[in-house]
Structure 1
Amino acid sequence: MQISFKRYCKTMELLNEPILIEAYKKAHAKGAAWPEITQGMKEVGIIDMEIYLLGTKLFMIMDTTADFDHDKAMIELALKPRQSEWEAHMSQFQNSSAEASADQKWKLMDRIYKMD
């Protein structure tokens, strides 16, 4: 079976503050993310995205179009309407610099195993 998409997995740390973690979860609840952000992701070729949380560790699964160029798409995404505003808003929850772009905060993970 031919796979017609690419998958990227990323990780980031939140600040170890229970109130902020709950606020971060609320900001990502169904319908809570700003529509411009979701639209921008779709426009650069992100088909689907899920974020999981364990303690302060975030884990993102990002499925994209088969021809997706990660580096190019992240540059394009950073220029989308309200993207920098969203990143600044999210930075209050994240264990990273407030000036960092999404691509600087979310670190790509290497796949080390795939079931045969």
Structure 2
Amino acid sequence: MKRYCLALDLQDDPLLIAEYEAYHEDVWPEIKASITGSGVTDMEIYRFSNRMFMIMETDDTFTFERKAAMDAANPKVREWEKLMWKFQKPLPNTKPGEKWVLMDRVFKLNN
């Protein structure tokens, strides 16, 4: 198992944030299937204000390149991502079009 931590911002608008969270109370089944089908075994998203933090746990088959290729070939995932971009905005210092970005671990209590 490998763990990845990623960050992304939402638009700083309480109504959009509420709508975004409502979508995540009932994520489309095709989206859940694409996540698990890519080797993600568990995923959690946390929010503080408009900053989000995602924890992904994956199996040995997962790579970001494979996930991106699977997403690009899946019309339902492309539809979901286009819809979600209405609510999301890139973090400072990201590349154009970049959404979720990997965070670097700076501390671990137990090795």
Name the TM tier (shorter chain): 0.7 to 0.9
Q: Which runs of 5+ in 2 are unaligned?
A: 91-95
- Tell me how far apart the structure 2 counterparts of residues 44 and 70 of structure 1 sit (CA, whole Å): 9
Tell whether 2:32 aligns with 1:38.
Answer: yes
For the aligned residues, what is the CA RMSD?
1.6
Cα distance per residue 1:75-113 (max 9 Å; x no partner): 2233224011001111111114xx94xxx2001111111
Match of 1:52 among 32, 37, 46: 46
SS in 2 for 1:16: coil
Match of 2:23 among 24, 27, 33: 27
Report the more deviating stretch, 104-113 or 65-74. Answer: 65-74
- The answer for the alignment partner of 2:65 in structure 1 is 71
Query: Is the Cα–Cα contact under 8 Å of residues 38 and 61 in structure 2 kept in the other structure?
Result: no
In structure 1, distance between residues paired with 2:82 and 2:52? 18
SS in structure 1 at match of 2:108 = coil
Question: Following the alignment from structure 1 to structure 2, what is the Cα–Cα distance between the partners of residues 6 and 90?
Answer: 26
Paired with 1:33 and 1:12, the residues of 2 have a C-alpha distance of: 18
Shift of 1:63: 0.6
2:93 aligns with none
The TM-score with structure 2 as length reference comes to 0.86
The alignment of Structure 1 onto Structure 2 pairs a total of residues equal to: 105
SS in 2 for 1:12: strand
The equivalent of 2:81 in structure 1 is: 87
